[in-house]
Amino acid sequence: MIKALRKTGLIFFPAYDWEISPTHPERKERLLYTQDQVLEEGILDIDGIREFKAGLADEHDISRAHFCVPDVGSRITPSHNVSAGGCIEAARLVLEGVVDNAFALVRPPGHHAMRVVQGARGFCNINIEAVMVEWVRKHYPKIRKIAIVDTDCHHGDGTQDIYWHDPDVLYISIHQDGRTLYPGSGFPAEYGGPNAAGLTLNIPLPPRTSDEGILCAMENAVMPVLEDFKPDLVINSAGQDNHYTDPITNMSFSAGGYARLNEMLNPHICVLEGGYSIEGALPYVNTGIILALAGVDYSYIREPDYDADALRQDPRITDYISRLCEQIYGMWRSRSELKPERRPFVERSRNIYYDTDGISENQEEVFRYCDACPGTFRIDSSASTGYHILGVHIPHGACDACRDQGMSWFEKADHRYYAVYLQDMDRDIHTFRKC
Amino acid sequence: MILGIDIGGTHTDAVCLQGGTILSTIKTLTGEDLVGSILEAIKGLGISHDGIRRVVLSTTLSTNAIVEKKHAKTGIICSAGPGIDPGSFFFGEAFHHVHGAMDHRGREYIPIDRGEVLHAAQRMKESGCTGVGVVSKFSVRNAAHETAIASLVKDSFSHVCLGHTMSGSLNFPRRLNTTYFNAAVMPVQERFVASVTKALEHLGINAPLFFLKADGGTYASAAASRLPVETILSGPAASLMGAVALNSRPQGTVLVLDVGGTTTDIGILVDGIPLLEPTGVDIGGVRTLVRGLKVLSVGAGGDSCVSIEGDELLIGPGRSGPPACMGGSSPTPMDAFTVLGKYDGDARAASRILAPLAERMSLDISQFSSRIIADMVENIRQKASEFIEEVNSHPVYTIQEMLHPDLVQPDRVILIGGPAALLKPYIAEAFGLECEVPGQAMVANALGAALARTTAQITLHADTQIGKVTCPELNMEKKAPTSMDIEDLKTLGLNAIRDNAAMLGLSDRVEAQVIEEQSFNMIRGFSTVGRNMRVKIQTRPGILHEWRGQ
């Protein structure tokens, strides 16, 4: 019998009774063939690999990461309680020491969901990794530094948004260049807020990047940065749409490449994100990832139509990625220089489009650029749905001045807003009041 | 009349019954010669043989052949293609991995190589294999490679088993193990069936012969000769089915505790039907696809050795000979019952063996005896509660099941086995549940075998884009029209299980039921290209209607 090097927990939740719509990529059938492959390969009988039941994330769990408008219940379906709950369960298993690492193979996905949720974007309603991360910080305060490495083909703009100002959460995204793919963001110039400059790193890769290119980015950018950052917890947002068969992207990554990536990264937790080549990619990529997590030989895992020669990337792509990695790692090393000049408040305004629901939103953010703590901020959000709200975030480790400022914003919000929302991370108070 | 015989490792129990009445029972020692033991038990029943219309056996024959490796030399030819290296799964000596691969929908992407297969067969033959298992990855989706390989090698071996006919479930490594074991024990089972049939005829018994399976159902001897692997681990099935038969109220959730000499087996009945292992049972540490009861064995029974380690009182897990109260020299829970005046054993011997231990715990002997019983019962209670928790934490894959879980919560306990009556009040108190010790519990196993219905399960997979329905257990492949929906597939399956009743070894009224159904629209691009549907159908397990006069 095969024995795993590391104890690996699998939370499999295919949500066979949930879909965005019958012909949507995010449909009931999505993980069916993955389940077939995992069962047929006998992965769950490998000594050390064990399947666990998903859990349920409640409104409070979700509110730690989001201002859901008008409320959590209106923005989610029970499937989101389970997929976020599945992630929490994966984290719990790892942090309680039941397993060494865990894979939340769940749907629906989450990495396009930002802090304010006026609707669904990129098939995501709530950010399941962020809900998990905030649950971890609440229940395991010793876990301070967290790294999220997002290897979905699409830029994880939601996760980037949620941790934009957070100096304890490093967010690195490897994805297909936003000039050629949804959501159109994720450039190196997006490197985090004033107090967390350099803690968001974007590595946009050209279309048709293959195993060689992605693994090069891992080796020359992601891994050296992680070595410096020394995170207490490493999470892989394991989207699988870099695969050469994916119908909505243009990359040339393989199942073997995904397995090698996870072997290098050796994350504590993997969370499934996108990936819509449900027959040609997911069964093999997921099998590869599980084996890599468990430390079992994955070298025989191969797609039926895999052809290394046909997928080989252009030498120009190889050169481009090498230079990009130098640039990213250089940015990281000199990240103190990225900090903007100090002033009391920093403002930014953005337009956000919720493609899945066809909603547009305007955001005005005011951030208190604090010396003593990560800094409180407020987001004024008005959406085409008619909801105009204010969200106030008082960060982990907030100083008294930031706490006072945050509470004052929360208390003074007037009838211009439909409601004002509060996230008080240290006190774990997540509430809202109608204005 | 029905004759039920349970041939256990130590005892052979037999029971003869008619309608709802037990006519005769007997318990004898199992000898070296199993057929001889069967005959002895039948003779001991003292019944007339001409009215017998059904004989059911529960044996350890296959289990022992596998565990003791007393079986025919058997080889495996497998085709797998990419994936985990199949060589890392297998433990047998003659293992041949050949070319050939199917994907998860049963589409061939690497063909088999005739020459390579013939060469493998030749080598296995030379190494003395008489049987061979042929197993392909995803053969339950498309059995073409297994069928082709088997037709190339069938003339070289006396027994050839095809993996997909063992079970419709996905799990290639377990399919390998199951097929190997099946091919290995086929000759053993065939010889056994032949000699039992002959011996019964000699006694004037011409009734059809059945065997008890690990899942608590029975099947006709012809099916047992084809799929002998299903008889492994039928011991716990016999006792649990005995509990079903002796259970006064079939409704509700019942925790069954079979307390033996050194172990207590824990099982669960839901509305009279035992819970099964989700994938298959293990034998000798090897995983199979054989459907079997979910049973947890706890190392605590009436003869468990009582000892003190440090200041901790231990009951079991082992045994060091018979209890002192029965002429042995080991301190046991039976001695504690004797000291407490609840069991009529040698009280002086029991006191003598327990006294020094009581002293070390600074307790008087009756306090100490009570403590032994309490600790043993607590151990069983704790294991039972973990067992129930494990059953309830089984993963589910739909939101419906996640939000409305169907949890197992026992509402009473049935106690069987030697010390059952003695333990009853203690168990009732510790579990906080009503506790029943049925009469005739001494021959529960034989009764379970006698009364278990014939059962079978089939799996259907339809892929209307490919245009095919497969049913591995029936070795059936049919065209699937594009219009086929889940109702059509269920109807097809329900008819198929009835039409193939004889092949499956079913003899009773076939009450087929759909136990799992899934239907997925297959979308490619933005249009529906077909349906992918899965159905599992079984005949209802349980005991024969006539037992309760239905």
Q: What is the pLDDT of residues B42-84, one digit of tens each?
A: 999 999 988 999 999 999 888 888 888 889 999 999 999 999 9
pLDDT band at A433 (very low <50, low <70, confident <90, very high): very high
- A42 contacts B174? CB cut-off 8 A: yes
- Contact across the interface for A42 and B173, Cβ inside 8 Å: yes
Identify the pLDDT of residue B550.
Answer: 55
Known catalytic residues of A are 112
CB-based contact A18 B399, cutoff 8 Å: yes
End-to-end, the C-alpha distance of chain A in Å comes to 63
CATH 3.40.50.720 holds for A3-335: no
A203 neighbors A175 (Cβ within 8 angstroms): yes
Q: What is the dihedral of CA A419, A422, A423, A428, to 10 degrees?
A: -120
Is 0.90 surpassed by the pTM of this model?
A: yes
Q: In the prediction, which pLDDT does B69 show? A: 86
| Beta strand pairing call for B74-79 and B131-136 | parallel
Nearest residue to A282 (alpha-carbon basis) of A52, A25, A101:
A25
Is B109 close to A52, i.e. CB distance below 8 A?
Answer: no
pLDDT cut 70: percent of chain A above it: 100
**What pLDDT score does B50 carry?**
87
Share of chain B above pLDDT 90, in %: 77
Asked if B520 lies within 8 A of A28 by C-beta distance, the reply is yes
Q: How much is the average pLDDT of A78-93?
A: 97
Strand pairing partners for A203?
A: A174
d(CA A208, CA B130): 53
How close A385 gets to chain B, by Cα (Å)? 28
Give the whole-angstrom CA distance, residue A4 versus residue B350.
49
- Closest chain B C-alpha to A23 CA, distance in angstroms: 6
d(CA A54, CA B396): 8
Q: Does B173 touch chain A (CB under 8 A)?
A: yes
pLDDT band of B89, cuts 50, 70, 90: confident
A326-358 pLDDT, tens digit each: 999 999 999 999 999 999 999 999 999 999 999
Chain A residues with CB under 8 Å of B81 CB are 304
Residues B355 and B338: their CA atoms lie apart, in Å, by 13
* Chain A hits for B523, Cβ within 8 Å: 22-23, 27, 29
> Average pLDDT of B154-177?
97
Q: Which segment of A338-342, B202-206, B232-236, B254-258 scores lowest on mean pLDDT?
A: B232-236
Q: Tell me, what amino acid is at B460?
A: L
Query: Which of B110, B397, B406, B536 is best to mutate for the A interface (most A CBs within 10 A)?
Result: B397
Q: Is ipTM beyond 0.85?
A: yes
> Are A375 and A403 a contacting pair, CB within 8 Å?
no
Number of H helices, E strands in chain B: 15, 27
Rg (CA), chain A: 21
pLDDT at residue A111 is higher than 80 = yes
A28 interaction partners in chain B (CB closer than 8 Å): 520-521
Distance between A285 CA and the closest CA of chain B, angstroms: 11
**Residue B9 has what pLDDT?**
76
Q: Which of B172, B399, B518, B529 to mutate to test binding with chain A, by most A CBs within 10 Å of its CB? A: B399
d(CA B458, CA B494): 9
Q: Does B83 touch chain A (CB under 8 A)?
A: yes
Q: Do A297 and B532 touch (CB under 8 A)?
A: no
A14 touches B: beta carbon within 8 Å: yes
What is the pLDDT at residue B281?
94
Burial class (CB in 10 A: 0-12, 13-18, 19+), B144: middle
Please report, for residues A42, B88, B243, B473, B543, the alpha-carbon distance to residue B227 in angstroms, rounded to integers and kept in the order given: 22, 26, 26, 11, 22
Q: Is B105 on the interface with A (CB under 8 A)?
A: yes
Spans of all domains in chain A: 3-335, 345-434
Opening angle at CA B59, ends B53 and B64, nearest 5: 160
Using CA coordinates, name the residue in chain A closest to B523: A23
pLDDT band at B493 (very low <50, low <70, confident <90, very high): very high
What is the band of B442 on the pLDDT scale with cuts at 50, 70, 90? confident
CA distance A127 to A133: 10
A99-129 in b/e burial notation, b at 16+ Cβ within 10 A? bbbbbbbbbbbbbbbbbbbbbbbbbbbbbbb
pLDDT band at B236 (very low <50, low <70, confident <90, very high): confident
Cα–Cα distance list, B405 to A53, B348, B386, B394, B409 (Å): 11, 53, 18, 10, 12
Look at residue B86 in the predicted model and tell me its pLDDT. Answer: 87
Task: Give dist(CA A306, CA A6) in Å, integer.
Answer: 28
Q: Which residue has the tokens 């769950």?
A: A44
Residue A11: name the closest of A64, A82, A117 by CA.
A82
Q: Which B-chain residues 457-476 have CB contacts (< 8 A) with chain A? A: none
Residues 6+ apart with CB under 8 A from B429: none
Q: Is the pLDDT of residue B134 over 80?
A: yes
3-state SS class at A182: coil
Better-scored residue on pLDDT, A215 or B233: A215
Task: Report chain A's mean pLDDT, rounded to a whole number.
Answer: 96
The order of strands in the sheet holding A3-13 is A47-52, A3-13, A101-106, A269-272, A233-238, A146-150, A169-176, A200-205
Whether A36 and B104 lie within 8 Å, measured CB to CB? yes
Tens-digit pLDDT profile for residues B389-407:
999 999 999 999 999 988 9
A54-63 burial code (b ≥16 CB/10 A, e <16)? bbebeeebbb
Question: Is A18 within 8 Å of B173 when comparing Cβ atoms?
Answer: no
Q: At the topology level of CATH, where does B2-67+188-241 sit?
A: Nucleotidyltransferase; domain 5 (3.30.420)
Lowest mean pLDDT among A42-46, A249-253, B315-319, B359-363: B315-319
Residues in chain B: 550
pLDDT value at B270 more than 70:
yes
Q: Could you report the per-residue pLDDT of A182-222, keeping only the tens digit for each? A: 999 999 999 999 999 999 999 999 999 999 999 999 999 99
